Amino acid sequence: MNVDPAMAQSPRLANRPVRLSREVAVAVTSEIITGNFTPGTTLPPEPALCATFGVSRPVIREAIKLVEQNGLVRVRAGEGTTVLPREGWNLLDPDVLRIAMETEQSRTLRDDVINMRAELEISMMRRAAPKLTDAHYAAMDELLEVIDTSRDSDTLHNADREFHAVLYRASGNEIARTIVLLLIAETRSVSYLGVPTPEEFGVANRAHRRIVALLKQGRIDEAAAALGQHITTQWMVDRSHC
């Protein structure tokens, strides 16, 4: 790609503090989600936010734009920055979702995320089932063997993720795949869910093998039920005291 030399030398583009703005945006997002700024109230003015975070006005403005894009605030001249009700928040933004799941005491959102993942994965599996070839089954069988024999956490995690990804790709549903991958990534980052132990991966893999066996036999409804049970069982675990 050819880049305009003038643009390449632009101080505005070269020095734009994107990372710092995002960090401030995450902090402001957390303050809103945790209730320190309630709907209907206004955020402190720019000078106060600059002092709080120790950054310049351009950084604050960029950060507030990011928060506004996710539906947490509304910026209007003469009114300031108003905090908006939760129903307008973009819960598919990774930062918003992660912070909301971490801070919600009832964990209703966590349950909704898990149930949504199950519904989407079941839908993708049903769509993938008629398209599965010997190559797909061979790939899944190889991954199941890795999970059965490895004790390394990263290896187990990657093999487990790739097992499910075989079905995602075979379904051809890119939107569902993208949403599920987001849900998985942000759910895994929540502290009380933690990382499954090798023993938990072993339990999960027995479920994987049953799902594959049912798919090979053409018993799609039973495979769907087994997949839904597998997802909810694995992700409803609270590992905060492990």
Q: What is the pLDDT of residues 150-207, one digit of tens each?
A: 999 899 989 999 999 999 999 999 999 999 998 888 777 665 566 678 888 899 999 9
Contact between 79 and 42 under an 8 Å Cβ cutoff? The reply is: yes
Distances in Å between the Cα of 31 and the Cα atoms of 83, 105, 133 are 11, 16, 49
Contact between 122 and 228 under an 8 Å Cβ cutoff? The reply is: yes
Q: What does the alpha-carbon distance between residue 73 and residue 56 come to, in Å, rounded to a whole number?
A: 20
Which residues does 193 contact at the CB level (< 8 Å), separation at least 6?
110, 187, 235, 237, 238, 239
The model's pTM is 0.78
- pLDDT attached to residue 187: 75
- pLDDT attached to residue 198: 85
Contact between 227 and 189 under an 8 Å Cβ cutoff? The reply is: no
